[in-house]
Amino acid sequence: EDQVTQSPEALRLQEGESSSLNCSYTVSGLRGLFWYRQDPGKGPEFLFTLYSAGEEKEKERLKATLTKKESFLHITAPKPEDSATYLCAVITGANNLFFGTGTRLTVIP
Amino acid sequence: DAMVIQNPRYQVTQFGKPVTLSCSQTLNHNVMYWYQQKSSQAPKLLFHYYDKDFNNEADTPDNFQSRRPNTSFCFLDIRSPGLGDAAMYLCATSRDRGYQETQYFGPGTRLLVL
């Protein structure tokens, strides 16, 4: 059975304190892994797609990496506006997105 | 220049009273999806349309139906809402259905069932 587990569930950081969010997955034949950001009361906003182990993508203070078992979202020197829930999702064999429950990030000024 | 639009943003309905949620898109994408997201949970796919072809997830209750009258619009009908159907409903689109395709989400409609 496909599984996506995100940790930690919640993370509080001081502004400027770098950290990483984890997404571990168990799927039969990973086709792709997506990272989304979701603000309270809003829809998920696309951040990155990763397709193969070793791949990395960067956008501003965010960097996503992928191994054969997990993905990390590294946040460098976060700002309060980076506060959100970060969702990861894998593409299943049916080409559907299967989401994790997310990591709720709070960045304190 | 909103790309995926959902109306209304908030909907209150009564237990058992049918309700329809609306989604429109300006991207001319072939695929439209409906997800249900309950508080602090992952979005869960209910069904999707690939053009006019309807694809229902196996565990989507019969209470949930969908219509796609044209490329731009897709509706979610809940025939007899129960208290457990209170959730955020997210519409998403993708250009095509391959694994490389990115899904773009609307802002969601929060449904409250009284």
The pLDDT of residue B1 is 63
Burial class of residue B65, CB neighbours in 10 A (0-12, 13-18, 19+): middle
Amino acid identity for residue A56 in this structure: E
Nearest to A97 among B4, B41, B45 (CB): B45
Nearest CA in chain A to B92: A43
Report CB contact under 8 Å: B48, A96.
Answer: yes
The pLDDT of residue A84 is 97
What does the pLDDT average to over A44-54?
94
- Among residues B36, B46, B42, B44, the alpha carbon closest in space to that of B108 is found at B36
Residue A74 token pair? 């590294």
Per-residue pLDDT tens digits for B23-33: 999 999 999 99
Instruction: Locate the domains of chain B by residue range.
Output: 4-113
pLDDT over 90 at A31, yes or no: no
Whether residue B46 lies within 8 A of chain A, CB to CB, comes out as no
Number of residues in chain B: 114
Q: Where does the pLDDT of residue A2 fall: very low under 50, low under 70, confident under 90, or very high at 90 and above?
A: confident
Mutate to test the interface with A, among B6, B60, B103, B111 (most CBs of A within 10 A): B103
Q: What are phi and psi of A61, to 5 degrees?
A: -90, 0
The pLDDT of residue A94 is 73
SS3 assignment for chain B = CCCEEEECCEEEECCCCCEEEEEEECCCCCEEEEEEECCCCCCEEEEEEECCEEEECCCCCCCEEEECCCCCEEEEEECCCCHHHCEEEEEEEECCCCCCCCCEECCCEEEEEC
The pLDDT of residue A80 is 97
| Domains (range + CATH), chain A | 3-108 (2.60.40.10)
What does the pLDDT average to over A70-89?
97
Report CB contact under 8 Å: A34, B102.
Answer: yes
d(CA B87, CA B100): 29
The pLDDT of residue B2 is 64
Report CB contact under 8 Å: A43, B99.
Answer: no
Per-residue pLDDT tens digits for B28-54: 999 999 999 999 899 999 999 999 999
Other CB atoms within a 10 A radius of the CB of residue B4 amount to 22
Q: Where does the pLDDT of residue A37 fall: very low under 50, low under 70, confident under 90, or very high at 90 and above?
A: very high
The pLDDT of residue A96 is 80
CA dist A14 → A18, A60, B5 (Å): 9, 18, 35
What does the pLDDT average to over A59-85?
96
What is the assigned CATH class of domain B4-113?
Answer: mainly beta
Contacts with B48 from chain A: Cβ below 8 Å:
96
Q: Where does the pLDDT of residue A30 fall: very low under 50, low under 70, confident under 90, or very high at 90 and above?
A: confident
Interface of B with A in 75-114 (CB under 8 A): 88, 90-92, 97-108, 110
Which portions of chain B are predicted below pLDDT 50?
none
The pLDDT of residue B100 is 83
Of A61-65, A66-70, B86-90, which range is least confident? Answer: A66-70
pLDDT over 80 at A28, yes or no: no
pLDDT over 80 at A95, yes or no: no
Amino acid identity for residue B71 in this structure: T
